[in-house]
Structures are given as C-alpha cells and as structure tokens.
Amino acid sequence: MFDAAIVGGGIAGVATAARLQRRGLSTVVLEAHGQPGGCAGFYRRKGFSFDVGATTLVDFGPGGVGGELLEEIGAPPLEREELQGYVAWMPDRVVTLDRDPAAWAVERARAFGDTPAHREFWALLDHLASAFWQASRRGVRLPIRGPADAIQAVRSLGLRNLGLARYLNWTLADALKRAGLEDDKPLTAILGMLIENAVHSTVKDAPLVNAALGVTIWGAGQSRAKGGMRGFWQGLAARYRELGGELRVGRAVERVEGREGAFRVVTRKETVEAARVVLAVPIPAAARIGPPGLAEAVAPYRRRDDEAVGGAVVAYLGVPESEVAGQVFQHHLVLEDYDKPLGDGNNMFISVSGAGDLASAPEGCRTVVISTHCELAPWEGLSPEAYEAKKDAAGERLIGLARRVYPDLTRDALVREFATPRTYERFTRRPRGAVGGAKLSLANANQKAVPHDVGVRGVWLAGDGTWPGLGTVACCLGSRIIADDVTGRR
C-alpha cells in the first residue's frame, strides 16, 4: 500500500507527489496518457517538440514559488532561458512589455499615457502585485477556513499590507473606473489580453488582486526550459523517480473506492491501494471517479463553475529559422481590432523556441506555437466535415495575423498542425476540452475558491480548478499547500 496515490500527472500532481516523496511518504502517480504533462505537456513531430498548453515557466528562479519546489525536492536548477518580456502588437501601436520594472514603467507611460489618472492606476496595480507576489512566495493559502489559515495569511502578506485586503472585492474594471480610465480602449485592451492569458478572465470580471498578478506575470520571472515543456518534464520526472516515486503512465483511473487509510484506485490495468488520494484532474473528472462523498462535496462548486469555462485554438508550426528572424523577443501578443471581443483569433499569443535550442527543434529550425482563447459550444455538435473546415479556417486565421510579426511565416513550414477543444479533450481528457479551470470572477476566486480539502477525509484536490487557479506557478503553490496538509506542517 502507498501512503498516497496521485491521480493525474500534470504539474500539480507530480509536484505534489515529489514533495510528499521527499518528506518520506511513498507515492505513486497514475497518468492516463503515455507521458506526464497534462495541459503543461508536449508532443513531438518530425524532430520538433511542441508545448501543448503552458509554454513558459513562472517564478522558477531562486526564492520563487517554482524555485522553492525545486529546492524542496532537491532538484538541480532548470536549464532554462530567462525571457525579457513580450511585445504587444496592437492595431495602432507596438508596446514592449519589459520584465525590468523601470523599463516597463517608462514604456507604459509612453504607450498609454502619463496623466495623474494613469499614474494612480499603475501605482495601485504595482502595489497589489508586489504584496501578493510576496504572499504567494511565503505560502499564503485561500480560502481562509480557520485561525491557522488567517495567521498564515497575515504573515504572508505582512502587517503593513493588510489594508490591501479591501481590494479583494474589487474587479479590474472597478479600478479602471475609479481612475476614470474605463473607456481607454488601448489600455483596457492590453490589460484584457494579459489577464486572459494569465488568469483566464476579462477586465469586467477579473478580481483586481488576481488581475494585478496576471498583468505583472512576466516581471515575476518568466523562463523557458531548454527543450520547452519536454525538457522541463524530463528533469522533474527523473527527479521524482530518483526520490523513489512511481510514475505509471497509461493508467486511466476508472474509479476510487474505499475510505481514508484504505482507498482502492481502480484502472483497467491494475488496482492501487493507498492511504490517501490526491485528485490532480479537473473537478468534473474528479467527481466522476469518486471516491464516495466527493461528488456531493463538490456539487455546489460545479453548479457555479461548470459553465464558466473556455478552450483554446492553437497552431503548431515547425519552421526554418529564417521565418522567425528579425525579432529580439520570442513571445508576442497580437490584437487585430479594439472593437471586437477578445478571443477567437482577434487576439493571440505567439511563443517561439530559442535560438540554438536543439531539444525543441532541429538545427536551423524553430518551433512556433500560436494560441487564442475560444468558447467551447461552437466546437460541439459539428459534423466531421464541418469540424475540419472550421479547424482549418481558425488555424489559417492565426497564421495570417501572426505574419504581422513574422511576414514569412509558414512559407516553407515543415510542420503545420492545428488544435481545438476537441483535441484537448482527446489528448488531455479534460471534459469538453476546457483548459485553465473556471474563468475567475469575484464569485469563484480567492475566499470563494474551491479549496484543496473539500471535506472528504483522506482526499485532496489539486490543479487549476482549485485555488489559486491556472498556470505553472499556481500548481506549484497548490502542491505545497497539499503537502503541508498531508504531512501536518500547517
């Protein structure tokens, strides 16, 4: 019998397992597919390695949330390339989002205005971001469910920042309105693209604290592992196994039976016995497989959040290096029209592998991943012919818009493939192909978020459906919270 069985081999699952293994527990990770990764995974084609969801790592340097994970499990520092920031290609201007705070302050004043209102707005976002990045690195946990959580929140945030708690009930739109900037299209557009990518929400709905973190996420230290997410997983999985953990792939879990101290995790190939279970899968999937009592425990959250989800359309390109020459930055945001809603190709994110990264692409070549958010319903109920036509049209639209940044893109492409919510449903088993958990709002974030412990003894939930939400840094923080719970370090 294992001390803990972890269902799902994404970042949240393997990070939790590695922490527990390092702390002396015996663990096994059961992953449905042939390799770990989930929505931070990868696939290979013709010598190229493509990231299927997350393309960057956040806060994996010394002292960061990801860096703390690596330190705890005794993993060597990742071989990675530090990213300087993004370039945003907007309808009427080009903006460099530099990770250096001083450079970014100068650039945003140039690009969006330097009025007293603008300075007041950015000062608030900067203050919130600084305080809550600090709190994340110190292990804050939400929702607060007792005195221990409250004490930890105060320690993490710091006494001088406690007054910022009043902004937990604000949205980003509230902050813009207070500054009189709610009708500033370029400003709201750049903010909207950043928070859509980082916290899966909108200017109207995004909680202000979460938006502040999302808007400054590149400044928290973004990097790309050598070999992309494939390189990241080679290192993390190897370290987990060195610690004595068992990573079993091709193990789709059908159900979890039993109770604390005597769980049985049933797959088609085997039944695993464990004293505890961590379900690092989307909440609808966790509810479906059990164990007893879990479906009822998460039902209120599902009624609230099951429809508040979205997906993505992605173009995966393997191209000669000459097609992406001429740009200093490897990551770009592109917006076509201020007056159209975000998503569905009106805006997109471009990620290019680094020069000389032969673990990502053959010599003289690069990978290019272009993604846009989308709603799920338009991709459902289509005939095979209608689906293929829609997929091809969406992918070609992404490539066409990306040529504003890279005019020669796909002239001589070696790989040219498109993915949709159907693709994510097939290859990551996420219900309906939804990615990123529920879209964050005041109704479901922070104090109202899904906790890791929903009251079923011996069972924890991990991943982007729980607090603090989506992304590599969030999954690392969640793994720390669960490991502390399991081992009594709270």
Q: Domain for residue 151, yes or no?
A: yes
- Which one of 182, 213, 244 terminates a domain? 213
Find the length of the chain. Answer: 490
φ/ψ of 266, rounded to 5, equals -100, 125
Task: Look up the CATH number of the domain holding residue 424.
Answer: 3.30.519
Would you place residue 265 in the very low, low, confident or very high pLDDT band (cuts 50, 70, 90)? very high
- Integer Cα distance of 250 and 243 in angstroms: 21
pLDDT for the residue numbered 173: 98
- Which one of 387, 418, 433 terminates a domain? 433
Do residues 3 and 276 make contact, with C-beta atoms less than 8 angstroms apart? Answer: yes
pLDDT for the residue numbered 490: 64
pLDDT for the residue numbered 362: 97
Q: Which amino acid is present at 295?
A: A
pLDDT for the residue numbered 437: 87
Do 357 and 384 lie in a common domain? yes
Q: Domain for residue 145, yes or no?
A: yes
Rounded mean pLDDT, 425-454: 93
- For the chain, what is the domain count? 3
Q: Domain for residue 181, yes or no?
A: yes
Do 324 and 421 lie in a common domain? yes
pLDDT for the residue numbered 387: 98
Do 283 and 390 lie in a common domain? no
Do 13 and 156 lie in a common domain? no
Is the per-residue pLDDT at 130 higher than 80? yes
Q: Report the alpha-carbon angle 361-363-365, nearest 5.
A: 55
- 383 vs 471 pLDDT, higher one: 383
Q: Domain for residue 137, yes or no?
A: yes
Is the per-residue pLDDT at 199 higher than 90? no
Do 325 and 427 lie in a common domain? yes
Do 196 and 244 lie in a common domain? no
- Integer Cα distance of 202 and 182 in angstroms: 13
Is the per-residue pLDDT at 416 higher than 70? yes
Would you place residue 222 in the very low, low, confident or very high pLDDT band (cuts 50, 70, 90)? confident
Q: Domain for residue 83, yes or no?
A: no
Q: Domain for residue 118, yes or no?
A: yes
- Integer Cα distance of 144 and 440 in angstroms: 18
Average pLDDT, the chain: 95
- Integer Cα distance of 74 and 77 in angstroms: 9
Q: Is 265 exposed, middle or buried (0-12, 13-18, 19+ CB in 10 A)?
A: buried
Rounded mean pLDDT, 300-313: 96
Would you place residue 292 in the very low, low, confident or very high pLDDT band (cuts 50, 70, 90)? very high
Rounded mean pLDDT, 431-449: 93
Provide the token pair at 227.
């070999």
Which helix (H) or strand (E) is 474 found in, with range?
Answer: helix 472-487
Is the per-residue pLDDT at 219 higher than 90? no
| pLDDT above 90: percentage of residues in the chain | 87
Question: Which of 1-10, 79-88, 309-318, 339-348 is least confident?
Answer: 79-88
Is the per-residue pLDDT at 403 higher than 70? yes
Report helix, strand or coil for 325: coil
Task: Look up the CATH number of the domain holding residue 282.
Answer: 3.50.50.60
Provide the token pair at 124.
């608030």
Do 321 and 418 lie in a common domain? yes
pLDDT for the residue numbered 216: 86
Which helix (H) or strand (E) is 400 found in, with range?
Answer: helix 384-402
Do 301 and 245 lie in a common domain? yes
Do 291 and 390 lie in a common domain? no
Q: Which domain holds residue 206?
A: 102-213
- Which one of 180, 213, 246 terminates a domain? 213
Q: Is 88 exposed, middle or buried (0-12, 13-18, 19+ CB in 10 A)?
A: buried
Do 314 and 303 lie in a common domain? no
- pLDDT for 77-108, tens place per residue? 888 888 889 999 999 999 999 999 999 999 99
Q: Which residues contact 269 (CB under 8 A, 6 or more apart)?
A: 250, 251
Rounded mean pLDDT, 12-39: 96
| pLDDT above 70: percentage of residues in the chain | 100
Q: Domain for residue 289, yes or no?
A: yes
Is the per-residue pLDDT at 470 higher than 90? no
Do 270 and 189 lie in a common domain? no
Q: Domain for residue 57, yes or no?
A: no
Report helix, strand or coil for 199: helix
Do 302 and 444 lie in a common domain? yes
φ/ψ of 190, rounded to 5, equals -65, -40
Report helix, strand or coil for 44: strand
The answer to whether the peptide bond before residue 143 is cis (omega within 30 degrees of 0) is: yes
